[in-house]
Amino acid sequence: MKPEIIITGKGHAGTQATLQEEFTCHRLFEAADKNGFLREHGPRVRGLATFGPMPVDGKLMDSLPKLEIIANFGVGVDAINLDDAKKRGIIVTNTPDVLNECVADTAIALVLCTLRKLPQSEAYLRAGNWAGKGPYPLATSLGGKTLGILGLGRIGEAIARRAMAMGMKIRYHNRRKKDVVYPYDADPVTLAKNSDVLMVVTPGGPETQNLVGAKVLDALGPKKYVVNIARGSVIDEPVLLRYLQENRVAGAGLDVFADEPRVPPEFFKLDNAVLFPHVGSATVETRKAMGDLQIENLRLHFSGKTVATRVV
Ligand code: 8YV
């Protein structure tokens, strides 16, 4: 008998196909009547394969009395209530490390695009402006600038290595100082003061909610930039929007938003923002590796072994 699991969202196609082969899968995201779906399948379900931002809380867990494991596709587990899982003895796994390099590539691409205004310059050419209006206005160099990393974890370190290769200096802030060569700032405001580009790489969730708000953006000021590759919740989005509109920061590069996939349309009008649709880890290779690890955790658990990447 294959273990019964629920798939919460429409995720990576290859991963979902393998899940379908190896487990008896119920697709919650396709159910018109979610409560009816949970009443029908909930009593037999032993695993959840989570995809995307759908909240997984105690109420959902209680509708699955046999739930043993929540295997998330992604390193960030902020959509899952970890305390609720812990209290119920439910294992939570994620997909760390396999996406570090890819997300770091995207982070550097955002820094390049934001400081050099590369997407805007391309739009200028495509609009036929080059011949008529002349060269695109000068932008800002990366070399010699300081990248302040807010949240120097495994992805942050991969970003730091790339930024140094581009001639940038690195500093960071974490809750705890790490044993690394980069200078440490005791709080996000000081880091912002000391940086030309603030790179947000913290986990999401209640502990980092609106960590980057008016105070941090004021410390950054009108000549400096912010890049967010973490979660939209870490930046106070309405405040950032206002600061960009009023040129109180020089620019922002954003891969993540507070209410994805909905992005406030006021952002689309900004010339000083570069906006990516959460593509940090979005390559064929990396998404396959993430899916393989998610599935491996489910396989290990259901064959009575220890999971590979346990969060709770
Ligand atoms: C993915 C991510 O976009 O790993 C994460 O936490 O945010 C991304 O890699 C996401 O997991 C896709 O659902």
Of all residues in the chain, what percent carry a pLDDT higher than 90? 100
Name the amino acid, one letter, at 153: G
Using most ligand atoms within 8 A of CB, pick from 75, 94, 95 the residue to mutate for ligand 1.
75
One of 40, 207, 260, 285 is an active-site residue; which one?
260
Pairing of strands 225-228, 197-200: parallel
Q: Sorting pLDDT into bands at 50, 70 and 90, what band is 32?
A: very high
**Of 94, 110, 132, nearest to 226 (Cα)?**
110
- Assess contact for 196 and 147: CB atoms under 8 A: yes
CA distances from 175 to 45, 192, 212 (A): 38, 15, 14
Per-residue confidence (pLDDT) for residue 251, from 0 to 100? 98
Number of the ligand 1 atom closest to the C-alpha atom of 99: 9
Q: Rounded to whole angstroms, how far apart are CA atoms 145 and 216?
A: 18
Report field, pTM of the whole predicted structure over 0.85: yes
Q: Is 278 a catalytic residue?
A: yes
Cα 213 to Cα 219, 235, 267, 272: the distances in Å are 10, 6, 17, 18
Q: What tokens does 296 get?
A: 């491996």
Structure confidence by residue, pLDDT tens digits, 286-312: 999 999 999 999 999 999 999 999 999
pLDDT bin (cut points 50, 70, 90) of residue 127 is very high
Q: For 51, how many CA atoms within 13 A lie in the half-sphere containing its CB?
A: 20
What is residue 157's DSSP assignment? H
Residue 234 pLDDT level (bands cut at 50, 70, 90): very high
> By the 8 A CB rule, do 57 and 83 touch?
no
Give tens-digit pLDDT for 235-290.
Answer: 999 999 999 999 999 999 999 999 999 999 999 999 999 999 999 999 999 999 99
The rounded mean pLDDT for the chain is 98
Residue nearest to atom 10 of ligand 1 (CA): 74
Task: Categorize the per-residue pLDDT at 153 as very low, low, confident or very high, splitting at 50, 70 and 90.
Answer: very high
Q: Whose CA is nearest to atom 2 of ligand 1?
A: 74
| Listed residue (174, 197, 312, 194) closest to 252, CA to CA | 197
Percentage of the chain exceeding pLDDT 70 = 100
CA of 34 to the centre of ligand 1 (A): 24
What confidence category does residue 89 fall into, taking pLDDT thresholds of 50, 70 and 90? very high
Q: How much helix, strand and coil, in percent to the nearest 5, is found in the chain?
A: 40, 15, 40
**What is the whole-number distance in angstroms between the Cα of residue 266 and the centre of ligand 1?**
25
- So what's the pLDDT on residue 126? 98
- Sign (positive/negative) of CA torsion 119, 122, 126, 128? positive
Q: In whole angstroms, what is the distance from residue 309 CA to residue 91 CA?
A: 10
Type of residue at 32: A
Quick one: pLDDT at residue 174?
98
Q: Which atom of ligand 1 is nearest to the CA of 281?
A: 9
Atom of ligand 1 nearest to the CA of 231: 7
Q: Determine phi and psi for 211, rounding to 5 degrees.
A: -60, -35
* Inter-residue contact 252 to 240 (CB < 8 Å): yes
| Residue 280 CA to ligand 1 centre (angstroms) | 7
Q: One-letter amino acid identity for 180?
A: V
266: CB partners within 8 A, 6+ apart: 241, 245
Ligand 1 geometric centre to CA of 201 (Å): 13
Ligand 1 atom at shortest distance from the alpha carbon of 278: 3
Q: d(Cα 200, Cα 103) in Å, to the nearest integer?
A: 12
Which helix (DSSP H) or strand (DSSP E) does residue 6 occupy? strand 4-7
The question of whether 310 is a catalytic residue gets the answer no
Give the Å distance between the CA of 141 and the centre of ligand 1: 30
Average pLDDT over residues 100-105: 98
Averaged pLDDT, 131-138: 98
Q: Are strands 91-93 and 146-150 parallel, antiparallel or unpaired?
A: unpaired
Ligand 1: residues with CB < 6 A are 51-52, 73-76, 99, 278, 280-281
